[in-house]
Structure 1
Amino acid sequence: MLFRGCTCGPSPSSATRRGRFHVDDGSVQDRSSAGLDRRDALCGMGAAALWATIASLAGGAEPARAQKLTTSMPEVDSLSIRVITDSFQQVFAAPARMGNVEVQPFSLGLTDKPPRNVLESEWGVSALLQTQSGTAQRAVLVDFGYTPETLINNMAILQIRPEMLDAMLLTHGHFDHFGGMAGFLGASKGRFKPSIALYLGGEEAFCTREIVVPATPPQSYNFGALDRNALQSAGVKVVLADQPALIADHVVATGPIGERSFEHVTAPTRMSVGLKDGYGCFPEQMPEAKRTARSIPDDFSHEIAPCVNLRGHGLVVFTGCGHRGIVNTLKQAMAATGVDRIHAVMGGFHLAPEKDEYVQETVAAIKQINPDFVLPMHCTGELFTRLVEHDMPGKLIRINTGTRVVFKA
């Protein structure tokens, strides 16, 4: 499972269901054919043996590097984004058309039989990006939501199959974006295309994290880490998109998001470098300044955003949370692709915990960039949505779990 204890000796495991963590005792047994106990690898081996063992479990010591974007940004004729997981669903929302954009809500998935399953909403994000350019079609799964139960349930109802996917992308290493991954990979084993890969912004995505909850004094809780072994077991290759990179022919990952505006990093978590019970990030693959970091504030230098260039309209940018700042993200997308027009920005903007003045400044800056459409999700907050509706009339599109948004050239 995704959550593990952080010390050697008998190591706790955790199972995640509906966002609640049930801890049981017992040693962690490796799931590879070698049958090695990970605690033995971490606590009883020298550095060289440790590196070799964990590298084997992780599917290789050196992840592949993504194909760098060396030519002009590809254009597509259409882009469909299906929201698989978000915080709520509005089953009575009506279909709508705004210019070249079709908004297709999902109701209850009724058939000729009484309904047994419905879409589930929870804290977290997952979406499917489907593109078409000429006769070529591609599908990229972005993020995995909070729990595998919700992800698998919703994908089944929305008829999204693992066989459809050409690639997967994780925007950043937060549990509400990768929590459903290991369970989904396990349930989908043997069904992926042989070339399937997961794109990450860097090794830092694997680091262990703790979430800081406001209290007196502040309280910190384990916030999990990516499961390398689940990726290897499912035959999924890990590819680092630590520079602007082309994914599945049609999608470009922004690469690291620089500080290009007034925005500050919104960081409710702290990060530690190193390996604990087989989970975490390899210090040798981290920037030198972070190789010995223990419980430092996240700066999200690994955060990336996928973007698509819609023919004749410009970029559609999807953000997981926008911890590096949504304005910074849009500017990075334009710099990375050479396309200076934003058609739409969609996703979480992490403005819910920010002060009103900061949200107002953000809306003003987005208004200056002048996207055609703004589609807030997840951690954006209601104040931002109201301000966009008032200050940028005709540009706001409200979406929720199950909504499919189709952008046509």
Structure 2
Amino acid sequence: MKTKITVVCENSIGTPFPLIGEHGLSVLIEADDTTLFDTGQGLGIIHNLKTLGKDINAIQRIILSHGHYDHTGGLLQVLQSINRNIDVYAHPDIFTNKVAIIPLGNQTLEAPIGVRASKEEYEKAGAVFKPISGLTAITQSIRAIAEINRPQSWQGFDERLKVKLPDGTIKDDIFNDDCSLVIDTESGPVVLLGCAHAGIVDILYDIAKQTGHKEFHAVIGGTHLESAPDTYVQKAIDTLKHFKVKKIGTSHCTGFKVACRMHQEFKESFVLATCGAVFEF
């Protein structure tokens, strides 16, 4: 059976459909049944699903890539629209208190960027939370991976992103909750990234190690390379070449300059995975 991947929410719109663009990501996976990966901020999720002709009630499960508002903000709306109990797969750390420390002149602003409701509120709306730990089977063709194996020297490139502990201490977010998907399709394995906060290089190598895959047919989603140094961007490009990726669709947190560089490197194999984009494998 063919696998169809549709970008429901993303920063920009690349189709003539009257969709709503927003800083965020949501992707619909249609194979044996229907899976929703992330829910965007919540500004466009319901409108865009309807505009794209998707049946919200056909969604059988939801997977959350991590605990930031631009990937989880539409969860409550989706749950309320489905109006029945539904499995929601996520790493337990999505409920940590995630904040951004933003420079503002001579001061800094602490902005909440985590999930917008409590676990209990989501459960009241029908969420049945299922934990993702390491490599986790979701369906016969979809596996999720979190707790990415990284060197002890690992450091995120976006220094704004933190977690706030109950005692008020603020520390770096190490993103154990960062979750990506590997989907078995007729064309070969497809990797779907949420934001790749754990690092696209380590994510792809960890997936390869845990699944045995030596090549990936496609890599789609947010790469979080916008704030990465040029040396790491080149390492990411080299990694995509190492795994002989035939289709690369970047979105959301990749950044304009990095997207242009990817296009120069991969030519017709590269596309922008904008709102409304469709991939079939």
Q: TM-score, normalised by structure 2?
A: 0.91
Q: Secondary structure at the match of 2:260?
A: helix
**1:121 maps to what in 2?**
21
Which of the residues 113, 134, 158 maps onto 1:223? Answer: 113
Post-superposition offset of 1:403: 1.3
Give, as a single letter, the amino acid of the residue that structure 2 aligns with 1:314: G
**2:41 maps to what in 1?**
146
The separation in 2 between residues aligned to 1:157 and 1:394, in whole angstroms, is 28
The separation in 2 between residues aligned to 1:261 and 1:395, in whole angstroms, is 33
Q: Does 1:385 align with 2:259?
A: yes
Q: Does 1:394 align with 2:268?
A: yes
Q: Does 1:270 align with 2:162?
A: yes
Q: Does 1:84 align with 2:8?
A: yes
Q: Verify the 8 A CA contact 1:363 1:384 in the aligned structure 2.
A: no
The separation in 2 between residues aligned to 1:175 and 1:140, in whole angstroms, is 19
The separation in 1 between residues aligned to 2:45 and 2:83, in whole angstroms, is 15
Q: Secondary structure at the match of 1:144?
A: coil
Map Cα deviations across residues 19-72 of structure 1 (whole Å, 9 max, x no partner): xxxxxxxxxxxxxxxxxxxxxxxxxxxxxxxxxxxxxxxxxxxxxxxxxxxxxx
Post-superposition offset of 1:160: 2.2
Structure 1's 314 and 379: CA in aligned 2 closer, same or farther, altered over 3 A? same
Give, as a single letter, the amino acid of the residue that structure 2 aligns with 1:119: L
Give, as a single letter, the amino acid of the residue that structure 1 aligns with 2:113: F
Q: Verify the 8 A CA contact 1:388 1:395 in the aligned structure 2.
A: no
**1:165 maps to what in 2?**
59
The separation in 2 between residues aligned to 1:232 and 1:213, in whole angstroms, is 32
Alignment of 1:164-313 (within 5 A): 164-190=58-84, 194=85, 196-201=86-91, 203-215=92-104, 216-225=106-115, 226-259=117-150, 264-267=155-158, 268-274=160-166, 294-311=169-186, 313=187
Q: Secondary structure at the match of 1:389?
A: helix
Give, as a single letter, the amino acid of the residue that structure 2 aligns with 1:173: G
Q: Verify the 8 A CA contact 2:220 2:248 in the aligned structure 1.
A: yes
Structure 1's 385 and 261: CA in aligned 2 closer, same or farther, altered over 3 A? farther
Q: Verify the 8 A CA contact 2:67 2:114 in the aligned structure 1.
A: no
Q: Secondary structure at the match of 2:262?
A: helix
**1:48 maps to what in 2?**
none
**Unpaired runs of at least 5, structure 1:** 1-76, 92-106, 109-117, 132-136, 275-291
Post-superposition offset of 1:234: 2.4
Q: Does 1:351 align with 2:225?
A: yes
Q: Verify the 8 A CA contact 1:349 1:376 in the aligned structure 2.
A: yes
Larger Rg: 1
Map Cα deviations across residues 119-170 of structure 1 (whole Å, 9 max, x no partner): 1001000010112xxxxx12110001012x4111111112223321121100
Structure 1's 322 and 297: CA in aligned 2 closer, same or farther, altered over 3 A? same
Q: Secondary structure at the match of 2:54?
A: coil
The separation in 2 between residues aligned to 1:170 and 1:266, in whole angstroms, is 22
**Unpaired runs of at least 5, structure 2:** none
Q: Verify the 8 A CA contact 1:344 1:373 in the aligned structure 2.
A: yes
Post-superposition offset of 1:346: 0.5
The separation in 2 between residues aligned to 1:264 and 1:361, in whole angstroms, is 15
Q: Verify the 8 A CA contact 1:172 1:304 in the aligned structure 2.
A: yes
Map Cα deviations across residues 102-126 of structure 1 (whole Å, 9 max, x no partner): xxxxx22xxxxxxxxx210010000
- Percent of aligned positions with the same letter in both sequences? 23
Aligned residues: 278
Give, as a single letter, the amino acid of the residue that structure 2 aligns with 1:248: T
Q: Verify the 8 A CA contact 1:254 1:336 in the aligned structure 2.
A: no
Q: Verify the 8 A CA contact 1:261 1:327 in the aligned structure 2.
A: no
Q: Secondary structure at the match of 1:374?
A: strand
Let me know the Cα RMSD of the aligned residues: 2.1
